[in-house]
């Protein structure tokens, strides 16, 4: 029985070390997993709520140059004109059906350091559309600084709102 007890103790010790190792690995990876999806989640809200980027309630999701262009657009609209931005900007300036976009939307994210790129691909106007969202981490919060069409020739940062 001494050999059996010894074998049981070795097994218990190995199991405990294995569990400790997994716990340590999990605690090291937890911050990466917790923040991995954040840039995509910032972008996703603009597809779930069309027109949100034009609302003041969402302005904290943006930094310059995108925020500056959105603010200039607001000034133009408050002056009585239409504004300088298409209200379907996240949808690549296309006619879209929100249900089709929601069903076909895929977000691919690459984050390095304090910057992230999210490619939003979806169906609109019977074609695949792709919009690149560029974000920076500002004090622990991901903020959009530009939108770039990958299938048309525009970038939010290049809009000339006057």
Name which CATH class applies to 37-158: alpha beta
As a whole number of angstroms, the distance between CA 141 and CA 13 comes to 42
- 124 forms beta bridges with 127
pLDDT-derived band at 29, boundaries 50, 70, 90: very low
Give residue-wise pLDDT tens across range 119-140: 999 999 999 999 999 999 999 9
Residue closest to 61 by CA, chosen among 104, 24, 90: 90
Q: Of 20-34, 51-65, 76-90, where does mean pLDDT reach its minimum? A: 20-34
- Which tokens go with 56? 């003041």
List Cβ neighbours of 32 (8 Å cut-off, separation of 6 or more).
Answer: none
pLDDT-derived band at 86, boundaries 50, 70, 90: confident
Give the chain's count of helices (H) and strands (E): 4, 4
| Mean pLDDT, residues 64-80 taken together | 94
Q: What is the pTM assigned to this prediction? A: 0.76
List Cβ neighbours of 154 (8 Å cut-off, separation of 6 or more).
Answer: 93, 148
Q: Where are the domains of the chain?
A: 1-36, 37-158
Give residue-wise pLDDT tens across range 41-60: 999 999 999 999 999 999 99
Q: Decide if 104 contacts 73 (C-beta within 8 A).
A: no
Burial of 9 (0-12, 13-18, 19+ CB in 10 A): exposed
Whether the predicted pLDDT of 14 surpasses 60: no
As a whole number of angstroms, the distance between CA 20 and CA 81 comes to 64
């Amino acid at each position: 029985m001494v050999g059996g007890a010894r074998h049981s103790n070795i097994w218990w010790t190995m199991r405990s070390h294995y569990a400790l190792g997994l716990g340590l690995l999990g605690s090291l990876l937890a911050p990466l997993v917790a923040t991995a999806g954040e840039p995509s989640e910032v972008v996703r809200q603009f597809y779930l709520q069309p027109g949100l980027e034009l609302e003041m309630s969402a302005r904290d999701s943006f930094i310059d140059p995108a925020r500056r262009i959105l603010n200039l657009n607001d000034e133009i609209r408050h002056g009585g004109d239409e504004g300088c931005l298409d209200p379907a900007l996240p949808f690549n300036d296309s006619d879209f059906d929100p249900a089709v976009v929601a069903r076909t939307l895929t977000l691919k994210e690459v984050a390095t350091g304090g910057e992230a790129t999210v490619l939003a691909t979806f169906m609109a106007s019977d074609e695949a559309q792709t919009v690149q969202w560029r974000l920076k981490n500002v004090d622990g919060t991901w903020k959009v600084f530009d939108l770039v069409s990958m299938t048309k020739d525009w970038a939010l940062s290049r809009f000339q709102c006057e």
